[in-house]
Amino acid sequence: MTARPQQAVAVAEMTERAWWILGSLLLAVNQLAHLTGHRDRTEARLWRELREEFPPVDQDRPLAAEITRAAGPAQSRFGPLAATDPDTTLTHTRHAVAV
């Protein structure tokens, strides 16, 4: 059974929304760390980058651009499978959806 182009577009749009939701969650956890003063010596690079890149939300401001930027490091780290991934069926499926 072949996927229709509309279905591929719908999946691509859902994937973009999921990255935006992830960016929102990352900023929320980052804000929690700012509010609680939480610092972990062994924190992952992603959390350190977020803390350094995004200041605490202490005044109302638009966050859409920050949400998109916050998702960037996670997307580059956890995004499309690398070409070296042993399961090439997933790589081909993801490529087909992205086109």
Helix (H) or strand (E) holding 18: helix 5-36
Per-residue pLDDT of 64-95, as tens digits, reads 999 988 888 778 877 765 444 554 444 444 44
Contacts of 68 (CB under 8 A, 6+ apart): 20, 23
**pTM of the model as a whole:** 0.62
Does 36 score more than 70 pLDDT?
A: yes
Does 98 score more than 60 pLDDT?
A: no
To the nearest 10 degrees (0 to 180), the angle between helices 5-36 and 45-53 is 80
Determine the Cα–Cα distance for residues 54 and 56; give it in Å rounded to an integer: 7
**What pLDDT is recorded for position 41?**
67
Q: What is the DSSP string of 57-74?
A: --S----HHHHHHHHHHH
